[in-house]
């Protein structure tokens, strides 16, 4: 097990190297002079441009700049936001909690809705329930989260007044964004649960269990669902990444503070250090979460460790 | 087996529904200037926020522009953006996958590591990062959405090539002294086409969704261009007084993506049953 963890962590190192390199080079891929672009609106004085260049260490050799970038990032220094003049790391730290809360709550919505929906569809295969569940899942996959969010605001805050339309902070503000974001993942999980369940239900051990005279529900839950969940767990990591990225949009819909709003605001304000820092943070977090999911998966299913 | 066949037929019915919706959308997109007599861009303050009715079939927005006309022209934008983005992704991803899978070795390792790095940016984050570098705008959205889908196609094509390469007829062609380029295009490419068509069809839906999301965030098309994502964000502030401004573009996006998904699923059943999840 320890060897598996070590191997998995080692395998991820080149990816992390590549991610830092990609985020670092973002600044050099910008057409035109990045410094002038950042200053464009309020500074034209060449001395100030040169000063800014030195301040950002853009006058050093590229390799040295990259070394500094990674070294600083490892120590938690992601530079200074141009707009707020505060450390990017501080801005991220203030917003990460809100996004993590949203991602976790949506995951709960996705699992709580998706697995029962897929289960019901599989058990009543080709019945009207199956058709209805799969139509819901199909619509869910095609639904733009920003439209679903607006519809939920229209129904549950403007008309019924149950939940606030915008803002963040407490649980009350979390409900609509979490449902919006979780619904799409729920549709994917429901479709996967259905097909996985149908496959398992056709297995010999399920027939044997039923032939032994075990209660039908017991067979479904203890023998079938338990095995059907294995492929579903594998996509949790991937889905979590999608939720993190989806948060960018949902946070904007609900004017909710978070990493997504930070990135979008940064792009619109041409606050490059902020965008770089936040993108780097999310990508590295995503890679590390996937390692954790893999390790957890290997813990649950010993067959993985060998492969 | 019998139920399996019925299941397959049901899927094909879905594909037909998808095709019909897409046909309608394509007609809307192509015929937009003739189907609506009103200008989708010109504003008229005294016509602002009219509900759907005889004068404005789908109502008017806060600038007095005809929502129906804007939705029709928006179909043009969305379908074009989807097609161009996926073309970019396939044009870059397919050759990378072909080379990677056929030659293997260090080149394969290098290409796949680069793809791994791109995949480390989840979902729309990669497109966001690219847009931030290229600066916001509709053209750059197409490039960003296209580039961020490259790893999907590179990996898919590589996997198809790896399995096609093992066929006896490929070995035979090589033994007969066939050149690499000839073998690649004549014997390997045909094996790649089916899964590529299926994935590209599904990818169209994803691309349209991503582009609309970037439009919604204000990073895509710039006003006054009628683009569905942007229309939704413009209608956001008038949700209470004028639900129609955001509802119809939203429906447009959902129907388009739904049609692509139905068609893609159907094509998968016909062309490549192995791909089924």
Mind listing the pLDDT tens digit of every residue in chain B (277 residues)?
334 444 444 557 888 889 999 999 999 888 878 887 777 877 777 877 778 877 777 887 778 788 888 888 888 999 999 999 999 999 999 999 999 998 888 999 999 999 999 998 988 899 999 998 888 899 999 999 999 999 999 999 999 998 888 888 888 888 888 888 888 888 888 888 888 998 999 999 999 999 999 999 989 888 888 899 999 988 888 888 888 888 999 999 999 999 999 998 888 888 765 555 4
Report which DSSP code applies to B272. Answer: -
Best mutation target among A29, A141, A144 (most B Cβ atoms within 10 Å) is A144
Neighbours of A210 (CB within 10 A): 17
Q: Within an 8 Å CB–CB cutoff, is residue B125 touching chain A?
A: yes
Q: How far is A222 from chain B (nearest CA, A)?
A: 23
pLDDT digits (tens, 9 = 90+) for A139-156: 888 999 999 999 999 889
Q: Is B239 on the interface with A (CB under 8 A)?
A: yes
pLDDT tens sequence across A280-304: 999 999 898 888 888 877 777 777 6
Contact A289, A237 (CB under 8 A): yes
Residues 213-232, chain A, touching B (beta carbon < 8 A): none
Angle at CA of residue A117, ends A111 and A121, nearest 5°: 145
DSSP structure class, residue A223: I
B113/A286 CB distance under 8 A? no
**CB nearest to A249's CB, from B134, B213, B277:** B213
Complex prediction ipTM: 0.84
Candidate from B114, B129, B217 with C-beta closest to A26: B129
Contact residues, chain A, for B125 at CB < 8 Å: 244-245, 248, 263, 279, 282-283
| Nearest in space to A191 (alpha carbons), one of A131, A120, A137 | A137
Give yes or no for B246 touching A (CB within 8 A).
Answer: yes
Is the CB of A192 less than 8 angstroms away from the CB of B277?
yes
What pTM was computed for the model? 0.86
The per-residue DSSP string of A173-222 comes to HHHHHHHHHHHHHHHHHHHHHHHHHHHHHTSHHHHHHHHTT--HHHIIII
Chain A nearest C-alpha distance from B231 (Å): 11
What is the nearest CA distance from B76 to chain A, expressed in angstroms? 18
Q: Considering only CA atoms, which of B62, B12, B35, B25 is closest in space to residue B251?
A: B25
Q: Which of B120, B133, B239 shows the shortest C-beta gap to A286?
A: B120
Q: At what angle do helices B125-134 and B189-216 cross, to 10 degrees?
A: 70
Kindly report whether the peptide bond that precedes residue A125 is cis, defined as omega within 30 degrees of 0.
no
List of residues 6+ apart from A186 with CB closer than 8 A: A109, A110, A111, A112, A113, A114, A117, A140
Query: Å from A143 to nearest chain B CA?
Result: 5
Tokens 């600044």 — which residue? A27
| Contact: A144, B232; criterion CB under 8 Å | yes
DSSP states of A62-80: HHHHHHHHHHHHHTT---B
For A166, the 3-state DSSP assignment is: coil
């Amino acid at each position: 097990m320890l060897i598996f963890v070590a191997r998995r962590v080692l395998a991820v190192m080149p990816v992390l190297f590549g991610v830092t390199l990609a985020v670092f080079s973002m600044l050099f891929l910008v057409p035109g002079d990045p410094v002038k672009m950042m200053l464009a609106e309020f500074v034209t004085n060449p001395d100030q441009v040169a000063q800014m260049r030195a301040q950002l260490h853009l006058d050093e050799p590229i390799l040295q700049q990259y070394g500094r970038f990674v070294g600083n990032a490892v120590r938690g220094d992601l530079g200074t936001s141009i707009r707020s003049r505060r450390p990017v790391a501080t801005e991220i730290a203030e917003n990460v909690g809100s996004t993590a809360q949203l991602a976790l709550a949506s995951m709960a919505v996705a699992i709580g809705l998706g697995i029962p929906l897929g289960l019901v569809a599989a058990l009543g295969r080709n019945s009207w329930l199956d058709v209805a569940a799969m139509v819901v899942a199909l619509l869910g996959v095609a639904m733009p989260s920003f439209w679903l969010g607006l519809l939920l605001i229209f129904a549950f805050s403007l008309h019924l007044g149950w939940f606030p339309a915008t803002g963040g902070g407490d649980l009350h503000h979390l409900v609509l964004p979490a449902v919006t974001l979780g619904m799409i993942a729920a549709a994917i999980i429901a479709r996967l649960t259905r097909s996985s369940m149908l496959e398992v239900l056709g297995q010999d051990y399920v027939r044997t269990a039923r032939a032994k005279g075990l209660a039908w529900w017991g067979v479904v839950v203890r023998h079938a669902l338990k095995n059907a969940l294995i492929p579903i767990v594998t996509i949790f990591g991937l889905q979590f990444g999608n939720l993190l990225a989806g948060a960018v949009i949902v946070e904007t819909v609900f004017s909710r503070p978070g990493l997504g709003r930070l990135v979008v605001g940064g792009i619109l304000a041409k606050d490059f250090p902020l965008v770089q820092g936040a993108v780097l943070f999310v990508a590295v977090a995503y890679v590390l979460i996937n390692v954790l999911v893999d390790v957890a998966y290997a813990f649950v299913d010993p067959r993985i460790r060998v492969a | 087996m019998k139920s399996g066949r019925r299941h397959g037929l049901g899927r094909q019915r879905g594909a037909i529904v998808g095709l019909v919706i897409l046909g309608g959308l394509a007609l809307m997109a192509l015929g937009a200037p003739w189907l609506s007599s009103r200008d989708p861009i010109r504003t008229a303050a005294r016509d602002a926020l009219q509900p759907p009715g005889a004068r404005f079939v789908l109502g008017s927005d806060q600038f007095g522009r005809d929502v129906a006309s804007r939705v029709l022209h928006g179909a043009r934008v969305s379908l074009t953006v989807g097609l161009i983005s996926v073309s970019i992704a396939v044009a870059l991803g397919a050759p990378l996958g072909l080379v990677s899978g056929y030659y293997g070795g260090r080149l394969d390792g290098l290409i796949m590591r680069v793809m791994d790095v791109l995949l480390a940016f989840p979902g729309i984050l990669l497109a966001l990062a690219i847009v931030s570098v290229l600066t916001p705008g509709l053209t750059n959205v197409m490039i960003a959405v296209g580039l961020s889908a490259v790893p999907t196609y590179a990996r898919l094509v590589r996997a198809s090539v790896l399995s096609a390469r093992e066929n006896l007829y490929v070995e035979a062609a090589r033994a007969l002294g066939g050149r690499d380029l000839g073998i690649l295009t004549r014997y390997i490419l045909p094996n790649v086409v089916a899964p590529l068509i299926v994935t590209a069809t599904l990818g169209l839906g994803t691309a349209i969704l991503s582009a609309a999301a970037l439009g919604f965030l204000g990073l895509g098309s710039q006003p006054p261009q009628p683009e569905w994502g942007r229309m939704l964000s413009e209608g956001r502030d008038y949700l209470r007084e004028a639900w129609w401004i955001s509802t119809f573009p939203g429906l447009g996006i959902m129907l388009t993506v739904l049609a692509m998904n139905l068609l893609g699923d159907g094509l998968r059943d016909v062309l490549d049953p192995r791909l089924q999840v």
